[in-house]
């Protein structure tokens, strides 16, 4: 349970809010690279941490992310012409480059230096890992590069990723990532029904423990937690998840992408994107060779425009099954085949988190022993926000190399998490425990 005040501190992302300022210390995913597929291509509208922005790829391939509205008379730059290394507002022709500098102002006298003094608000960008990252924080604290998560280190042709919009606050979605117990219920099936739903509950002695014991350990990038399930044959099945500050979980094979990352990027207080990105190759420790899970389509998505209650729009990707079509819920299927009757694991998650309302009221919840990782994350975040307000900057943003860690989905004789991490440390960088 959280007080209403704590809930506000953790969930609000606007500039000037405690969490909004904390998030602005990190490089954040703004777009998938393929949302801006070509130089001088179509600009797209987006919203990040509550700020309306326009993104464009210029003649040289550089990406600009700038205020959605022209600094002259606030016309929407989305309608602009993307030409010769700049985006030209179609209202009066003012033109801006990817750094935000005004480079042409044809409506003013030629001798005027007004243009040299005028900029549109622009944020630095960095492209790596199939993503365009943005930094929206204080200039003097800008980290050298985005976090080196495993998916940023594999060749482009060995990675796949998708994103879709979720109509809920980012934190309740992230909490679903840290809640390993729900996998045995929400995502379970009564036999393989071929929809990509994973069945962790079997009768063959593999794993049938629905009460995992949870262990969490702080690290220099966030924390690592393990869910330990007893197996009938006497050892343990461990699902070890990495929480990478401020919004990423590296989850074991249930992601369908080996070593996959799930990133919950706040659009504003009431909406976020779920990014699912990972390597295409099975990784032996947590995905047996040829495992069909790594080849199944994870989720059908489609390009679309989303209109917010305030009338602003963005150009983005939407899940094919979503609130508008009741998530594809099939009650007959629920009776016979799957626990939910909802196709696709991410859709099952989406139905739960959106159904809570935009911002979950955590003063009404009752957490149990399976919620240890969620409690751990909230405490860590509240501590970080307190520290930042006292002037202590977070460690991780300036140290992208600490993010080179992996999740584990393994059997082990060990009953303690540090021993499991040690056993598999050659594949997963041994986290620096703090």
Only one of the segments 154-162, 267-275, 348-356, 372-380 lies at the binding site for Fe ion (rule: CB under 5 A); that segment is 348-356
Q: State the nearest-atom distance from the C-beta of 239 to Fe ion, in Å.
A: 12
Contacts of 379 (CB under 8 A, 6+ apart): none
Applying CB under 5 A, the span of 142-150, 300-308, 314-322, 349-357 interacting with Fe ion comes to 349-357
Cβ-based nearer residue to ligand FES, 78 or 237 = 78
Task: Please say which residue, 172 or 412, places its beta carbon nearer to Fe ion.
Answer: 172
Give the footprint of ligand FES on this chain (CB under 6 A): 70, 72-73, 75, 89, 91-94
Nearer to ligand FES, 92 or 323 (CB): 92
Residues 6 or more apart whose CB falls under 8 angstroms from that of 15 comprise: 21, 24, 49, 50, 51
| DSSP-assigned beta bridge partners for residue 198 | none
Among 151, 328, 342, CA closest to 255: 151
Cα three-residue angle 24-243-316, rounded to 5 degrees? 55
Residue 75 or 85: the one with the smaller Cβ distance to ligand FES is 75
| 349 is a site residue for Fe ion (CB under 5 A) | yes
Residue written as token pair 């050892």: 235
- Which one of ligand FES, Fe ion, none interacts with residue 143, CB within 5 to 8 A by kind? none
Whose Cβ is closer to ligand FES: residue 91's or residue 358's? 91
**Are 378 and 246 spatial neighbours (Cβ–Cβ below 8 Å)?**
no
Residue 388 binds which entry of Fe ion, ligand FES, none, CB below 5-8 Å type-dependent: none
Burial class (CB in 10 A: 0-12, 13-18, 19+), 103: middle
**Among residues 68 and 261, whose Cβ is nearest to ligand FES?**
68
- Whole-number minimum distance, CB 418 to Fe ion, in Å? 26
For the CB of residue 220, give the shortest distance to ligand FES in the complex, in Å.
45
Q: What is the smallest separation between the CB atom of 120 and ligand FES, expressed in angstroms?
A: 9
Positive/negative CA dihedral, 305, 15, 139, 128: negative
299 contact choice in ligand FES, Fe ion, none (CB below 5 to 8 Å, kind-dependent): none
Query: Nearer Cβ to Fe ion, position 36 or 372?
Result: 372
122 makes contact, choosing from ligand FES, Fe ion, none, with CB < 5 to 8 Å by partner type, with none
Cis amide linkage into residue 246, ω under 30° from 0: yes
C-alpha distances in Å from residue 281, one per residue of 130, 278, 291, 295: 16, 9, 10, 9
Instruction: Report the nearest approach of ligand FES to the CB of residue 73 (Å).
Output: 4
Q: How far is the CB of 94 from ligand FES (least distance, A)?
A: 4
Ranges of H-type helices in 326-416:
331-336, 345-355, 372-389
Q: Two tokens at 277?
A: 């990105």
Q: Are 301 and 320 in contact (CB under 8 A)?
A: yes
**Which tokens in the block code for residue 345?**
């694991």
Q: What are phi and psi of 54, to 5 degrees?
A: -125, 135
CB of 209 to Fe ion, least distance (A): 18
Q: Per CB under 5 A, does 354 bind Fe ion? A: no
Distances, alpha carbon 367 to alpha carbons 47, 71, 225, in Å: 33, 48, 17
DSSP category for residue 292: G
Residue 87 near residue 77 (C-beta atoms within 8 A) = yes
- In the complex, minimum distance from the CB of residue 50 to ligand FES, in angstroms, rounded to a whole number: 23
Stretch that binds Fe ion, among 216-224, 265-273, 347-355, 413-421 (CB under 5 A): 347-355
Contact segment (CB under 5 A) with Fe ion among 16-24, 167-175, 267-275, 344-352 equals: 344-352
Report what 349 binds from Fe ion, ligand FES, none; CB cut-off 5-8 Å by kind: Fe ion
* Residue 308 site contact among ligand FES, Fe ion, none (CB < 5 to 8 Å, cut-off depends on kind): none
Closer to Fe ion by CB, 122 or 351: give it: 351
Residue 218 CB, nearest approach to Fe ion (Å): 24
Please answer whether residues 45 and 52 qualify as being in contact, where contact means their C-beta atoms are separated by less than 8 angstroms. Answer: yes
Nearer to ligand FES, 115 or 404 (CB): 115
Tokens representing 289 are 């060779």
User: Residues in the site for Fe ion, rule: CB under 5 A?
Assistant: 349
């Amino acid at each position: 349970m959280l007080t209403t005040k704590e809930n506000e501190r953790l969930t609000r992302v606007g500039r000037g809010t405690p969490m909004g300022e904390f998030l602005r210390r990190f490089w954040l995913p703004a777009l998938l690279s393929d949302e801006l597929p070509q130089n001088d291509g179509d600009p797209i509208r987006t919203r990040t941490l509550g700020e309306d922005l326009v993104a464009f790829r210029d003649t040289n391939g550089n990406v600009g992310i700038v205020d959605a509205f022209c600094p002259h008379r606030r016309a929407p730059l989305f309608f602009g012409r993307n030409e010769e290394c700049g985006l030209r507002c179609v209202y009066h022709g003012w033109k801006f480059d990817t750094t935000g500098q005004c480079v042409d102002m044809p409506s003013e006298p030629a001798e005027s230096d007004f243009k040299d003094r005028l900029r549109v608000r622009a944020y630095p960008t960095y492209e790596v890992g199939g993503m365009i990252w943005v930094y929206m924080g204080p200039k003097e604290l800008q980290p050298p590069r985005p976090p080196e998560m495993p998916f940023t280190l594999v060749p482009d042709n060995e990675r796949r990723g998708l994103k879709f919009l979720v109509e809920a606050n980012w934190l309740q979605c992230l909490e679903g990532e840290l809640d390993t117990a729900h996998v045995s219920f929400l995502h379970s099936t009564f036999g393989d029904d071929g929809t990509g739903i994973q069945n962790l509950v079997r009768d063959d002695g593999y794993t049938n423990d629905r009460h995992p014991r949870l262990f969490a350990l702080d690290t220099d990038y966030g924390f690592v937690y393990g869910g330990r399930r007893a197996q009938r044959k006497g050892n343990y099945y461990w699902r070890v998840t990495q929480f990478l500050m401020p919004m990423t979980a590296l989850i074991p094979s249930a992601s369908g992408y080996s070593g996959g990352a799930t990133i919950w990027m706040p659009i504003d207080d009431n909406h976020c994107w779920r990014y699912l990105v990972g390597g295409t190759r099975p990784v032996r420790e947590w995905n047996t060779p040829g495992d069909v899970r790594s080849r199944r389509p994870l989720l059908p998505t489609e390009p679309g425009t989303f209109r917010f209650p305030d009338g602003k729009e963005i150009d983005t990707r939407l899940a094919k099954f979503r609130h508008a079509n009741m998530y594809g819920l099939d009650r007959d299927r629920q009776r016979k085949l799957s626990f939910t009757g909802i196709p696709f694991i991410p859709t099952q998650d989406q139905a739960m988190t959106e159904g809570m309302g935009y911002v979950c009221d955590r003063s009404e919840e009752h957490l149990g022993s399976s919620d240890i990782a969620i409690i751990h994350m909230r405490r860590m975040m509240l501590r970080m926000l307190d520290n930042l307000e006292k002037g202590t900057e977070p460690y991780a943003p300036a140290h992208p190399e600490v993010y080179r860690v992996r999740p584990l989905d393994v059997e082990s004789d060990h009953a303690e998490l540090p021993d499991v991490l040690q056993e598999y440390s050659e594949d997963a960088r041994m986290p620096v425990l703090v």
